[in-house]
Structure 1
């Protein structure tokens, strides 16, 4: 199994180089500004649960251009939002909660995707209890970190003393597992599906905690939202239409990921089956985000929870809901 994973990871490494080459045709944080009138939307490279911006232009209002800006992680997207370098961004909810708690000028204006995570490891680890003493990879400051620690606690393991937690970047999870530097990891796609395709198995669902599958949101720069409410409303409506399209045509979603980022189709199909697309900001969802904020405080990701009355701006979704 490990040999097979090494082979797949080697192929993935080549594909990542191809992705880097593709970014010459896509705006990056250092090359924003090709169209001064474009609405700039940040997202992450190669992650299926953050792909909606790539379908937005087909649903754009007349004379509206969306410029995709690629980043390496959600905190970078949040910082770009706060500075006004981008207008909106698809990113992890914890990064936005951290920004709002620090009184940065950002707000959550729609949900984007639940799920997209997995807790996988060696087939020899059959139950969560068998993780005792094992090395577990995780991305610090993420919803996956919260889910991991809550899951370990639920199965009688102390995250601080009963296991060895190894902080890794999303892109390093599969290689760390292949090299034997970790025995398991709780992380996001695509690394989860690369490992599963190679024979790793899901140890336990990462979604059976108080935060559920809460993961990705659409955030906005406060100044842009205040100064351009009509453009913000149209953009959120376009985003929701892109999400609905992806839900209705999963083949187009998978094909887009393969074409844009050079991903393996078989692995991509596994990954998108692990993503629950959404755009709504209903009461249940907002309560789960509030619970995420509480857990972030409990696990020292935040010194204090943000004022939840300042976290969401729901008015931009009203036109979307009215059409349903």
Structure 2
């Protein structure tokens, strides 16, 4: 029997126009570049843990415009960063690690959000042992893939032989659950909360592995960082201010998501409760990203670990606490 499900996105142009005053500019990858002086910021559609760029304009220096460029996945944002199509991107940490490992000129310049993930499934799947033989959705090349495989191993299950892993896009995850194509999935919001509303439950926390809740970072194009350090520093400061604003006004955060992407307010409230916003690149966070890189090698996401000295550029956070 099919499980009830409400479609995730009603992504309408009129909605984007309604928030243009808040965000400066919104574009797709093909339409970016309308304002040659704008700082172009890549982010993903409809995910609450990547929403901070929509509040950056209110913290921008006079005369600075932030142009938001929407993508479908983090590897696409990383490739746009590497090519210079965008200057800064809010994306999954694994994508930046893969870029550095491939000697692309991309770097992590701030953190953005922990969490935003969930491991959910059919009500009859009460323990991880009940997953044996089940179909489990996951987004390949993501932190969720690493968390899933580490979680399965921790409970005595071999990801290669004891379960059936199904690679799905983030936007397809909840519909795959509702239609019965998968019995469970470990993925990102909003799919997790949508599935829970449709009757799924959390099987086990995805945050109890060696990578913790590590997920989203701010990446920078190396050439932009080198040629425009003051603009990069201003952008990172505006991002950090946006994060602090969202932490202090969760209602504005939720309302922005609902208005921008046409999301269900009740589901949005659940989803943002599963996100821990941040911007700091402290030792603990960098240690978890280093562990993530090690696990990416172990699970064949990377042929070799990147040079972690090239991954992080922390100098753009130096003035964040000054204002």
> What does 1:284-299 align with in structure 2 at a 5 Å threshold?
284-299=284-299
The match for 1:138 is: 138
- 1:44 & 1:22 partners in 2: Cα distance? 16
The match for 1:236 is: 236
Tell me, yes or no, if structure 1 residue 247 matches structure 2 residue 240: no
Can you give the 5+ residue segments of structure 1 that lack an aligned partner in the other structure? none
Query: What is the TM-score of this pair, normalised by structure 2?
Result: 0.95
Query: What is the TM-score of this pair, normalised by structure 1?
Result: 0.95
- Structure 1 SS opposite 2:267: helix
Residue 152 of structure 1: how far off its partner (Å) = 0.1
- Structure 1 SS opposite 2:119: strand
The match for 1:38 is: 38
Tell me, yes or no, if structure 1 residue 282 matches structure 2 residue 275: no
- Structure 1 SS opposite 2:318: helix
Can you give the 5+ residue segments of structure 2 that lack an aligned partner in the other structure? 21-25
- Structure 1 SS opposite 2:176: helix
Q: Which moved more, 1:284-293 or 1:174-183?
A: 174-183
Residue 197 of structure 1: how far off its partner (Å) = 1.3
Cα distance change, pair 173–20 in 1 and its aligned pair in 2 (3 A): farther
- 1:271 & 1:288 partners in 2: Cα distance? 23
> What does 1:94-133 align with in structure 2 at a 5 Å threshold?
94-133=94-133
Tell me, yes or no, if structure 1 residue 18 matches structure 2 residue 8: no
The match for 2:23 is: none
> What does 1:27-176 align with in structure 2 at a 5 Å threshold?
27-176=27-176
Residue 99 of structure 1: how far off its partner (Å) = 0.3
- 1:179 & 1:21 partners in 2: Cα distance? 30
- 2:68 & 2:310 partners in 1: Cα distance? 27
- 1:152 & 1:186 partners in 2: Cα distance? 11
- 1:82 & 1:125 partners in 2: Cα distance? 42
The match for 1:221 is: 221
The match for 1:203 is: 203
- 1:20 & 1:272 partners in 2: Cα distance? 24
- 1:162 & 1:296 partners in 2: Cα distance? 20
Tell me, yes or no, if structure 1 residue 186 matches structure 2 residue 186: yes
- 1:17 & 1:230 partners in 2: Cα distance? 37
- 1:58 & 1:319 partners in 2: Cα distance? 18
Q: How many residues align?
A: 316
Residue 23 of structure 1: how far off its partner (Å) = 5.8
1:69-117 Cα shifts (integer Å, max 9, x gaps): 0000000000000000000000000000000000001000000000000
- 1:19 & 1:316 partners in 2: Cα distance? 35
